Chains A and B, each alone.
Chain A
Amino acid sequence: MVTRHVLIGSGPASIAAAEAIRGIDADAEIRMIGAERAGYYSRPGLAYLLAKEVPESALFPFTRRDFDLLGVEQIHDRAVLIDPGKHAVRLGGGEALVYDRLLIATGSAAIPVNVPGAEMDGVVKLDDMDDARDLIRRSRAARTAVVVGGGITALEIVEGLRAHRVDVHYFIRKDRYWSSVFSESESRIVEEGLRSRGVTVHYFSELARILGRDGRVESVETAAGERIPCEMLAVAIGVLPRAELAREAGLACGRGVLVDTHLRSSDPDIFAAGDVAEVSDAATERRTIEVLWNSAAAKGRVAGHNMAGGPARAYEAGVPLNVTRLAGFRITVMGTVGGGGEDADMKGIARGDSETWRRRDAGTTVVEAQQGEAHVRLALGPRSIEGAVVMGDQSLSFPLQEIIAAHVDVGPLADELRAPSAHLGELIEAFWRDRTAHHA
């Protein structure tokens, strides 16, 4: 009998799941429901579209032919109800799809601001292709924009607005940018970079209300009473998993859809992967949400494998990693690096973010230094490197990625790195050269 797989969502988690299912089961029926007209595209690539680095057409990794070759039927509609009893998903158009195995990979959605005037025309976000098109269209006409929020998305919007020559005011609620992940010097590097790109950075600025006429934004007012005229207010205060469908279907949910490490939900025939999945690890008792492209694909791969009945496979979170460009600096964040601060600019979790970064295990010490063209910060365990942030030149980030991911016992290196005025870059390079020479 042919197994019927239904995948809700058309992001990397669903795509990777479809590939994994097809890899195991040549005959399976695979149907992918996607609410977005654009279908499958690179969501992080929207930042490069805004910055005018690529045309929209470059953002699509798959063609229709690729879907045909994979044997995936794409259904452009919204899933509105899951009925676990009947093993069916109802679509907005009324049709019901029956499944043997279901994947929920609905991603995450931006949290709206909750201030008076938030419903006005000119309040924008960056979740999907339509938002990106809207932002570009408005940027062509707008002179001034205010951006509130934190993490990567806020600054990607700032960058995109600057690429369209819009004057940008960026509000930081407390004293520095992204304090839950970055150290103070890292925050300052980024803020300085923003200023050098013509952005006005406002500290201790809390958005109090949005003012306008005829339902259109004309200015914003801070809690301190400062008023800034603008045609646009961009909001990036975090995202929340789109777990409503699962919740209404009675599946166990936390902030996201709760799944075990096999990515199975509380219903044995329903799986979840990507931003929407909250993985509960029985061994560590930790529940983790990751809003990362590669984690989404990795989860999708495991979920698809298990849905198709492959020998049970567990998702291993590995070391979350992201590379971004903020205010012109290339930045890699990996492992547990906790910036020490509480992030007042974010409500939920940020896009391109992992909760793991904010942790810092007791017993780790932090060293940081400017090393030539790079600013490096390391979270050091007694004999390990637990996390790192590399800003600027990225050469060091490659050995660090391997050392952190493989939990390499770095032995005395950890102490050498802790020594005052240690040259972090040279020490790590020497260590890595030795190690690769021995392992070659």
Chain B
Amino acid sequence: MFSRFAGECWGYLNGMTLFASDRARHTTLATAWVMPEPSRCVQCGVCSFHCPMEIDVRRHVWRGEPVKDARCLTCGECVKRCPRGLLRFEPIPFAAPVLPQRRVR
């Protein structure tokens, strides 16, 4: 029931097939990252729990930072799952560094 790798996560995304979403993902990847509205977050961890890349999204929100993690697939899973709807994709400002980050858990 709690599987992080639920089929829908990989196979379908908002009704798109993996192939189509893959294409969408590449365009998003180049231009957008996940941006939080930290004042709405209660650190419940739903986002981190559902991230297929095991990125600790919650930690980024606590620090008030966008998810600058090179592993982010921009799959939208965290955005969709946050029960408080505070995560959004936003265009990456020009030349902002996207650093690989180790998961801190």
Please report A residues at the B interface, Cβ cutoff 8 Å: 12, 42-45, 48, 52-55, 58-61, 63, 65-66, 293-294, 321, 323-325, 330, 332, 394, 398, 401
Contact = CB atoms under 8 A, between A and B. Distances in A.
A54 B43 contact: no
A39 to B, nearest CB: 13
B40 A323 contact: yes
Nearest to A323: B84
The interface centre, meaning the residue of A44, A54, A332 with most chain B CB atoms within 10 A of its CB, is A54
B48 A321 contact: no
B85 to A, nearest CB: 5
Given A55-B2, A398-B37, A293 B45 contact: no
B59 A294 contact: no
A61 B44 CA distance: 8
Contact of A58 (B1, B41, B46, B104): B46
A324 B86 CA distance: 11
B91 interface: no
A44 B44 contact: yes
Nearest to A53: B46
A168 B56 CA distance: 36
Given A61-B59, A394-B85, A42 B1 contact: no
Chief secondary structure at chain B's binding surface: loop
Interface residues of B, number: 23
A401 B40 CA distance: 10
A61 B58 contact: yes
B49 A293 contact: no
A63 B105 contact: yes
A323 B58 contact: no
B1 A54 contact: no
Interface in B76-95: 83-86
A150 to B, nearest CB: 20
Interface in B32-67: 37-46, 48-49, 58-59, 62
Nearest 8 interchain pairs by C-beta? A45-B44, A44-B42, A58-B45, A58-B49, A323-B84, A42-B43, A293-B42, A42-B44
A54 B2 contact: yes
A52 B59 CA distance: 22
Contacts of B104: 63, 65-66
Contact of A42 (B37, B45, B85, B86): B45
A274 B72 CA distance: 34
Contact of B46 (A54, A294, A332): A54
A44 B42 CA distance: 6
A60 B86 CA distance: 19
Contacts of B1: 52
Contacts of A61: 43, 45, 58-59, 62
Nearest to A49: B44
A54 B45 contact: yes
Contacts of A65: 104-105
A277 B66 CA distance: 31
Contacts of B37: 398, 401
Nearest to A298: B39
A278 B91 CA distance: 41
Contacts of A12: 43
A63 B59 CA distance: 12
B39 A321 contact: yes
8 contacts: A54-B45, A59-B44, A61-B58, A61-B59, A66-B104, A294-B39, A294-B42, A401-B39
Contacts of B84: 323-324, 330
A61 B41 CA distance: 12
A332 B40 CA distance: 9
A45 B45 contact: yes
Contacts of B46: 45, 48, 53-54, 58
Contact of A48 (B40, B44, B48, B58): B44
A45 B82 CA distance: 11
The interface centre, meaning the residue of A293, A323, A401 with most chain B CB atoms within 10 A of its CB, is A323
A157 B7 CA distance: 30
The interface centre, meaning the residue of B41, B44, B48, B85 with most chain A CB atoms within 10 A of its CB, is B44
A54 B49 contact: yes
A112 B81 CA distance: 34
A164 to B, nearest CB: 13
Nearest to A12: B43
A74 B9 CA distance: 37
A14 B14 CA distance: 40
The interface centre, meaning the residue of A45, A48, A61, A324 with most chain B CB atoms within 10 A of its CB, is A61
Nearest to B2: A55
